[in-house]
Structure 1
């Protein structure tokens, strides 16, 4: 794989995103996450997966340059549906998946992390969904998963303001489970992952299946509606302005069209 490396320690597969400088979430990277799941699914030696990022960030967001290569809202909706399918597979995967987040998990990067079963963070990490700042909305089920973790009001604040929260606050509001010093993040995550790896694979799989019972049909309807809205919003003038402003490193001027 080009963007993911994989190594195994004591029953734990460590999957590291390697797409410098920001580990941006490209279509290629999403496909490799899917490939990684296929690679470890039937490997009995692997009991737990730890997902982390190389360099300064976990993943600082989607690859905005790729958006300029998309010409229609319909194609944008297909992009969202494809990402949602992989992330849903991640969330329902038969083996526990833990995200170790340092630096930043923004936009699609946070959506990827929210699909993991557990999130551990560095205290100074930044977590957020800044899509509205670009004239867009989240497209990989971010509008549906975030309220499940932090509540509707906090999710609304994070989405409306586009402002990230710290790793410490992420623990306080329920988006992450534990916060560590950045130097301790991966070692502590691996320590916990190795403890989990000692459990019976049968019971881990059954527990993951039971955790999914909290999802109702309305959730899946919401995810589909998000993808459709993702495509509709993409065709607006504000979306084009937001994307261009991001690439030009300037403040966007939205007109409501």
Structure 2
């Protein structure tokens, strides 16, 4: 039985057995309107702050992940209005990237435009065999504005990101897996279960060590090597203040690797 930790009109956070699911539910295509963006932010912040949540799945349902921004809403915006809106638009997706726990996007159907950017904000992506991802903003005369130019290029490299963004084309599951855009491809009806099973593997893990690993990787990628190494060093040393470090090392010495029962403290 799931508990509802956050409930917006179109986005909710369900918690079951330590895994939080941020569920988009704005049929038929889950367009990311201003309201949906703000509800994603609220759900992400709640997931990050809820101690009962050890890992997070972002899911759009059985048919579609999210087919992009609400273009009708965006079409009516002036330059000045978009100057103001672009900051919270981008930060609403970044709120998912800033969840200090393992995250995975469970993608069925389409993840396009803002939907692709939402998937890119997660640590991992599990998609269905018939799923398609893309950044087709160029076909509207604009560019990705919620992280696509930055996160996609960091994930697949600048040349492949330029190919996808310049053309606006859709990327199928086989190519997405081959270029590292996604991590697992499964039958469409197994997407959520596979994503959830992956996140369940982190429940009961050393929460502060997982948080530190994510922060070291993410912050290090934005830095030069020397700065990244210093970030790693400080985070590594800080874990010696945690109970889980003591539990993990004592268990290793007494019982061998992989048998520690962590407390998340």
Please, what TM-score do these two structures have when normalized by structure 1?
A: 0.80
Q: Give how far 1:135 is off.
A: 1.0
- SS at 1:16 equivalent: strand
Distance, in Å, in 2 between the alignment partners of 1:216 and 1:193 is 25
Cα separation, partners in 2 of 1:217 and 1:200, compared to 1, 3 Å: closer
- SS at 2:31 equivalent: coil
CA contact (8 A) 2:47 2:99 kept: no
Distance, in Å, in 1 between the alignment partners of 2:162 and 2:115 is 18
Aligned to 1:5: 12
Of 18, 25, 28, 2:32 maps to 25
Unaligned runs of 5+ residues in structure 2 are 1-7, 225-265
Q: CA RMSD in A?
A: 1.6
Distance, in Å, in 1 between the alignment partners of 2:136 and 2:151 is 15
Distance, in Å, in 2 between the alignment partners of 1:144 and 1:42 is 26
Distance, in Å, in 1 between the alignment partners of 2:57 and 2:85 is 25
Q: Give how far 1:70 is off.
A: 1.0
Of 132, 139, 147, 1:141 maps to 147
Distance, in Å, in 2 between the alignment partners of 1:56 and 1:183 is 9
Distance, in Å, in 1 between the alignment partners of 2:192 and 2:222 is 34
Unaligned runs of 5+ residues in structure 1 are 219-257
Distance, in Å, in 2 between the alignment partners of 1:89 and 1:51 is 12
- SS at 1:124 equivalent: coil
CA contact (8 A) 1:57 1:103 kept: yes
* Matched ranges for 1:123-138 at <5 A: 123-138=129-144
Of 63, 67, 75, 2:70 maps to 63
- SS at 2:101 equivalent: coil
**Does structure 1 residue 168 correspond to structure 2 residue 143?**
no
Aligned to 2:252: none
**Does structure 1 residue 49 correspond to structure 2 residue 56?**
yes
CA contact (8 A) 1:21 1:55 kept: no
Q: Give how far 1:42 is off.
A: 2.7
Distance, in Å, in 1 between the alignment partners of 2:213 and 2:143 is 32
Distance, in Å, in 1 between the alignment partners of 2:35 and 2:82 is 15
Distance, in Å, in 2 between the alignment partners of 1:217 and 1:48 is 26
Q: Give how far 1:76 is off.
A: 1.3
Aligned length: 217
What stretches of structure 1 move > 6 A for 4+ residues in a row?
none
Aligned to 1:101: 107
Distance, in Å, in 1 between the alignment partners of 2:86 and 2:125 is 23
